[in-house]
Amino acid sequence: MKIGECKKRISAKEAVEMIRKGDSLLVGGFGICGTPFTLIETITESNHARELTIISNNLGEAGKGLGKLLISKHIKKAIGSYFTTNRDAVKAWNNGELEIELIPQGSLAEAIRAGGAGIAGFYTKTGVGTEIAKGKEERDFDGETYLFVRGIRAKLALIKADKADTMGNLVYARTARNFNPMMATAADIVIAEVDEIVEAGALDPEQIITPHNYVDYVVLNDRYEKIGGEYVERTK
């Protein structure tokens, strides 16, 4: 089967057309590892996909990954754990140009997992007695205080995998897996950016992490190539 015969394959531009002003997006990545660069780059070129709420561990790095989306003024709010590696995010927040909602990394992962599993929320000791606890429901269990954290879902998830087969099954590249598989369960529409599409049956079933029934669309990365373990933009 040829790559073009993957029924779920669409272009990055077609994928971005599904995003509307004010939408919430789950976006995979840890730092810039496991980030859907092509989809993010395509959003920066759009005029309609603005005032977005981005749910991700961080906002990439300065000028890289979600950092580009921040510079292009497409992000209204960021929900995540670690933003200080991107000086542009800190500057935007200080200037009142970006809303930030901090959530501890483990709580973020569990909230996405809960959202994907249909669980409304959970209680955790993480954050008790800190600024994070302000405005949150608290409850005592066995003499200890816990915070209630709502499960997280979004309209769309933009995730990054190493390969997809023509059915949409996904495999990931080592730590580039990070938040991506959980996010694939917690959105109404899941768009997977991949570096390669292979025939159905070509992937080792034991290596498939995200089954095809979680994936609505597949976008082939055609803007970036991996050189020395790092993605760099292709020369036009």
Q: Which CATH number is 49's domain given?
A: 3.40.1080.10
Please report the pLDDT score of residue 98 as a whole number: 96
Whether residue 53 lies inside any domain: the answer is yes
Range of the domain at 174: 3-223
Residues in the chain: 236
What distance in Å separates the CA atoms of residue 228 and residue 214, rounded to the nearest whole number? 31
Which tokens is 160 given? Answer: 């990054």
Residue 25 lies in a domain: yes
What was the pLDDT predicted at 229?
A: 66
In a domain, 232, yes or no: no
Which pLDDT tens digit goes with each residue over 28-50? 999 999 999 999 999 999 999 99
Question: What sign does the CA torsion over 185, 133, 22, 75 have?
Answer: negative
233 assigned to some structural domain: no
- The number of domains in the chain is 1
Supply the pTM of this predicted model. Answer: 0.92
Within a domain: 146: yes
Provide φ and ψ at 191, rounded to 5°: -115, 120
Closest-CA residue to 170 (of 119, 147, 204)? 204
Tokens of 117: 């599993």
Q: In which residue ranges of the chain is pLDDT below 70?
A: 1-4, 227-230, 234-236
Asked whether residue 75 is domain-assigned, the answer is: yes
Residue 231 lies in a domain: no
Q: Rounded distance, CA 188 to CA 20, Å?
A: 14
pLDDT of residue 85: 86
The Cα 102–Cα 190 span in angstroms is: 24
For the chain, give the mean pLDDT: 93
